[in-house]
Chain A
Amino acid sequence: KAGVTQTPRYLIKTRGQQVTLSCSPISGHRSVSWYQQTPGQGLQFLFEYFSETQRNKGNFPGRFSGRQFSNSRSEMNVSTLELGDSALYLCASSLAGGIGQFFGPGTRLTVL
């Protein structure tokens, strides 16, 4: 099976812009979670989607949003980018009710 794929792998944006990141889960996985990784804050949970519904959300401002499509692919959007949004954004997928999460390679976002 193909692993979790994330596109694009690298992004450079400027403050105030918005960005959309994409994640395709492992075939058959219906749960997709997003995490932000920064040197200062480490790995932090953003949100999780299952069957096109957000069922868990971390402590991030409303500028961070996401959605999931009927084929389980997920996107996350960050509006009005700030310098502090520069991070590696990781997507993970798991089976419905599954215990293990499998991570993609991440999208490196740099905000200038």
Chain B
Amino acid sequence: AQSVAQPEDQVNVAEGNPLTVKCTYSVSGNPYLFWYVQYPNRGLQFLLKYITGDNLVKGSYGFEAEFNKSQTSFHLKKPSALVSDSALYFCAVRTALDTGTASKLTFGTGTRLQVTL
């Protein structure tokens, strides 16, 4: 079974400071990893994904994530936070073994990012 852990319910950071939202995963085989963001009363917006290759993945709105296979982590980062980044962030995983047969994503519980002036 695959699982995702987001150990922090909330992360608080001042605008202009770097931010990190943590994610660890467990999956059989190679993982496909994703970050999504959700604003109030909205669906999920795709930020970035890791499939293979470079461990540092760059995504939308200046976000990036670092894949660490030995630590089974995929932490989301941004060098300089904005107040408008305040939202709920979800990490998700699926196994590469499912490619072509199923697209089930397993999500973490979400981390609320609060960026203040």
Point out residues on A near B: beta carbons under 8 Å.
Answer: 4, 6, 31, 33, 35, 42-43, 45, 48, 55-56, 58, 90, 92, 94, 96-106, 108
In the complex, A90 Cα to B42 Cα: how many Å? 10
Contact A43 B90, CB 8 Å, known A90-B43, A103-B36, A103-B44 = yes
A48 to B99, CA, bound (A): 13
Contact B46 A100 (CB under 8 A): yes
Binding site for A on B (CB under 8 A): 32, 34, 36, 41-46, 49, 51, 90, 94, 99-110
Closest to B102 in A: A56
Q: Considering the chains assembled together, what is the distance between the CA atoms of A98 and B105 in angstroms?
A: 12
A21, B109: Cα distance in complex, Å: 24
- The 5 A-B pairs at the shortest CB distance, nearest first, are namely A97-B100, A43-B107, A103-B44, A56-B102, A105-B43
